[in-house]
Structure 1
Amino acid sequence: MEQDNVFYVGVDVSKAKHAVAIAEGGRGGEVRYFGEAFPRASSPEHRSREAEP
């Protein structure tokens, strides 16, 4: 029987940057910092704010 692998993804969101971490499932799972992404003015969130009256 195949065993499923469980991973959790955490995202810390701010206006300046978004930080991402990945954790393996289980109590002893390893947590790894994946990196940062910087929001762009062309993001869907930004465009939706521009469309508001």
Structure 2
Amino acid sequence: MENFFGLLKQEMFYGERFDHFYQLEQANQNYIIFYNNERIKSIFKGLSTKKFR
């Protein structure tokens, strides 16, 4: 969990500003979808988890 939240802050929050809670909530949901389906992971030889399965 610590690794995930570290990546979340590094990849999504750095340099961003959210004016409303709704924007932050939507950005979190989009990041989780990206993280689970599209983000390339070296452990899977350059594939996303979705393509690896």
TM-score, structure 1 normalization: 0.25
Q: Which has the higher contact order (CA 8 A, sep 6+)?
A: 1
Q: Which has the higher strand share?
A: 1
| TM-score of the two chains, using structure 2 as the length reference | 0.25
